[in-house]
Amino acid sequence: MATTDSMESGGLITCPTCDHSVPQNRGNKRIICPKCGNFYDRDSAVDELRQIRRVNREKQSPNEIKDRDEDKDKSSGTLSSIASFFQNLGPNRKTKPTGPHSRSNSQASSHLSEPSSKGSNTELPPISQSQTPSGKRTPLYNVNGGPHSPRPSDTKEKSTSKADTNNQRVNTWAQQGDSNISQITASGNNNKLVYPVRTKTAEQLKEDVLLAKESGNWKVVQDFYATTFESFLEINAIFKRDPCKEYKTVEEPGLKFELVQMVYEILLKLPQEIQKVVLKSVINSLLKDKRPHTKDDLRAYLVLLQNPQFENFTTYVIFAHLLRQIAALTDQDHHFLVHWMKGLKKQVFQRIIKRLHNFISIRLFPPKPQDLPPMAKCTWWIPSATKVLALLNAANNLTSPTLVQYSEFYNPTLDHLDLMAEYYTWQNPSSCAGFSFCQYPFILSINAKRTILQRDSEQQMIIMARRSLVAKVQRRQMPDVGMLFLNLTVRRSHMVSDSLNEIARKQHDLKKKLKVTFAGEPGLDMGGLTKEWFLLLIRQIFHSDYGMFTYDKKAGVHWFSSAQCESYQEFNLVGVLMGLAVYNSIILDIHFPPCCFKKLLSPAVVPYNNPQAMVGMTTMNLTDLKTVQPDVANGLQNLLDYDGDVEDDFGLSFQVSVTEFGVMKTVDLKPNGSNIPVTNENRKEYVTLYVDWILNKSIYHQFQAFYHGFHSVCASNALIMLRPQEVEMLVCGNPILDMNELRKVTTYDGYNSQDQVIKNFWEVVLSLPKDLQKRLLLFTTGSDRIPVGGMSEMTFKISRVGGTDLLPMSHTCFNMLVLPAYKSKKTMKLKLIHAVQNAEGFGLE
């Protein structure tokens, strides 16, 4: 533990809060821990800060001192120095609280109330306060003017009786010149909290602002804002719907969100002096941080988090400490905050996310480093902001549909970090202790995750190649280049069987770079043969005649056939294909529903040394079934919505009928299901079991082989960071299509970009509807999706051919379109549409 002696003697100094040790230079005292932001020693910190202020005062001129004192008087006791803010942040671990809401004492600020000996005084006093004869501090504020003093007769403490044991009571105060202010007392078991009632409405505030603009006197508006944010008590007094209620449920935060937004919108249009007063009041609120926190504290944090002033980097010091206090809350407090955040409007939710992203980005790459504290002294900034962002992400995941797209939590700035260093820190917590963005993968973009996954796979490829080289040398064999690759030789006439045999024989080489050779055909694989192998193999496996997968035309997806078979090796092969595609950056035209990728990550890492562990089993619902078999899902939904007698009208039992190879068979959904009728009371159970049988149990062995095939190639902990939607993007590419971007990367053979034929081509393409644009991309590349990184990662070539009566042709292995020189735009459009509409895509029927 750090002591004053250790601080003065040099060497290492250890934080009493987080046990983080840093060097302590002689003659240069450290006050705040650079990791967690708490104090080493509060008393010495106070002395140090007082000395700093004394030196600064000596440097000021008499006029500057006079101006500062006048400004201090005008602010009615608000803090005049940011230093006063720092000296009161962070709890002292050695301090023992004296009551449920008491906190550590500090000599640094006269604004902090001392807890009573009984621990019953839990009031949060504002800056301006009055002492009552009973010893209680009473916050005073007049929304229409300055502070007023209560009558002594009104402040006398009344005797309590059994009739006064109500949890809430209202005491009306006689204010001089103002009848709108009263005081609400909320009493608990051992504490009392006095709420000043604020009746200011948004309309009244607007009127005050208009009058201030006309008269030039902003005192009323300034007093309102100064008092509103000067304590958590005042924040609740103005923004809480009903101070008489406690609002202790996760469903209802009890906040006037519309008033919060109006107050902040008006604030940004007010003079800078008032905005500075608000920041000082926010500092004063944060000074009163206490533990344990009440629900009112959580409401205040939620209100302060919406403050648009924190978009300016000059306020980041204050914003950082607000984020630290929110991040340091207990799990139960976070639980309430997460559920309350769901009630925010989409625009407000997005603004908070953007604000946090900017905070993280500017802290990582500051445009003006001199305007922010050194990174070494505030390493806790970024972890705190990321943890608060995690609360918003959790709130977003709890809503259906989500408030924002999951991609809005991506921070592209992080793509420029040393991502592998972040990954290794996450993977090796014992040797690389510290914060890593990989702990919060929602903030990493799909590009960043792909980079980590590919580099991790490259490292595994290098390791496998190195092992092969060592084995060759140990056997005294001549090394060759082929040993560095996964070399597959297949016959076109036996594509599936040869691929199965090659992959089974070379299981230990799956993490090497893939190269394919077609037997009896000369050629060097520079990527084209590998892509052709993928496309031809997928077309054959997914054909309906092959019987491995079923295709639903309405949903446009394939699903695993539930028919039992002797071997599931073909399903394992499909999994291997998907894994190889990810490892080798190949986009596959596979149309699986989203729930397939959810199952593929259940679990994300194969259970170690336990081949019998259950895999691919996850909770499914009707929404998932609609993406696989929409007609069946609609029928089940109708069953749930039926108003009549289900048992008499439907005559169902807990069984499901399925056709396998032309033979109808029934399966019980539960023991003795054939004798259990479906009724109005148990129909929800029937639907749940039905969905689980279709998406989980009926295809378990097929999906198990598919799962192990994929993870035999992609056995990386980086998969833990991926969402199911992101796995789909890695396998199938990005569905967002922009033909203007494709135009930028296109090269030409026999044409140039200024030829009229090419101009006509792009005019036609850009005028096509999105579905035809996707079919054109499918026609020319074999997939209607683009790489994860966008069109810039694609190669696309337009080659010239003679004969204007021909249709356009394509070589999907090389992303090449063979285009005749049509003389008119009309002919170009007709020929192009005819070609793409009559071309059969791989995996489509």
Task: For residue 176, count CB atoms less than 10 angstroms from its CB and return exposed for 0-12, middle for 13-18, buried for 19 or more.
Answer: exposed
Distance CA 808, CA 800 (A): 10
Count how many Cα atoms sit within 13 Å of the Cα of residue 99 in the half-sphere of its side chain. Answer: 19
- In percent, the amount of the chain with pLDDT more than 90 equals 52
| pLDDT value at residue 560 | 95
- Three-state SS sequence of 564-631: CCCCCHHHHHHHHHHHHHHHCCCCCCCCCCHHHHHHHCCCCCCCCCCCCCCCCCCCCCHHHHHCCCHH
Structure tokens at 4: 């004053």
3-state secondary structure of 266: helix
Contact status, residue 709 vs residue 573, Cβ threshold 8 Å = yes
Q: Which of 572, 691, 549, 675 is nearest to 633 (CA)?
A: 691
Distance CA 157, CA 173 (A): 13
Ranking 103-107, 437-441, 637-641 by mean pLDDT, the lowest is 103-107
More confident residue, 496 or 82: 496
CB neighbours (10 Å) of residue 206? Answer: 12
Structure tokens at 564: 């039992």
| pLDDT value at residue 161 | 39
Distance CA 227, CA 78 (A): 10
Does residue 184 register a pLDDT over 60? no
CB neighbours (10 Å) of residue 820? Answer: 19
Mean pLDDT to the nearest integer, 573-598: 90
Radius of gyration of the chain (CA): 34
Give the model confidence (pLDDT) of 258-289 as tens digits: 999 999 999 999 999 999 999 999 999 998 77
Give the model confidence (pLDDT) of 728-779 as tens digits: 999 998 888 889 999 999 999 999 999 999 999 999 999 999 999 999 998 8
More confident residue, 57 or 780: 780
Distance CA 317, CA 500 (A): 60
| pLDDT value at residue 543 | 87
| pLDDT value at residue 438 | 95
Extended strands (E) in 84-167: 129-131, 137-139
Mean pLDDT to the nearest integer, 546-555: 91
Highest mean pLDDT out of 55-64, 97-106, 340-349, 808-817: 340-349
DSSP structure string for 493-544: GGHHHHHHHHHHHTGGGTTSEEEEEETT-----SSHHHHHHHHHHHHHHTSG
- In percent, the amount of the chain with pLDDT more than 70 equals 76
Distance CA 367, CA 391 (A): 28
Q: Which of 469, 470, 465, 466 is nearest to 484 (CA)?
A: 465
What burial letters (b/e) apply to 283-307, b meaning 16+ CB within 10 Å? bbbbbbbbbebbbbbbbbbbbbbbb
Q: Which of 105, 145, 107 is nearest to 128 (CA)?
A: 145
3-state secondary structure of 765: helix
Contact status, residue 452 vs residue 718, Cβ threshold 8 Å = yes
Mean pLDDT to the nearest integer, 12-37: 68
3-state secondary structure of 678: coil
Q: Whole-model pTM above 0.85?
A: no
Task: For residue 737, count CB atoms less than 10 angstroms from its CB and return exposed for 0-12, middle for 13-18, buried for 19 or more.
Answer: middle
Does residue 13 register a pLDDT over 80? no
Mean pLDDT to the nearest integer, 533-540: 88
DSSP structure string for 42-61: HHHHHHHHHHHHHHHHHHS-
Contact status, residue 2 vs residue 9, Cβ threshold 8 Å = no
Ranking 70-79, 221-230, 297-306 by mean pLDDT, the lowest is 70-79
Q: Which of 152, 142, 151 is nearest to 196 (CA)?
A: 142
| pLDDT value at residue 301 | 97
Give the model confidence (pLDDT) of 587-632 as tens digits: 888 899 999 999 999 998 887 767 678 999 999 999 999 999 999 9
| pLDDT value at residue 32 | 65
Ranking 160-164, 255-259, 336-340, 384-388 by mean pLDDT, the lowest is 160-164
Structure tokens at 415: 């793509």
Q: Chain-wide mean pLDDT for the chain? A: 80
CA dihedral (509, 515, 518, 522) in degrees, to 10, reads -130
The residues annotated as belonging to the active site are 813
Give the model confidence (pLDDT) of 651-683 as tens digits: 999 999 887 777 788 999 999 999 999 999 999
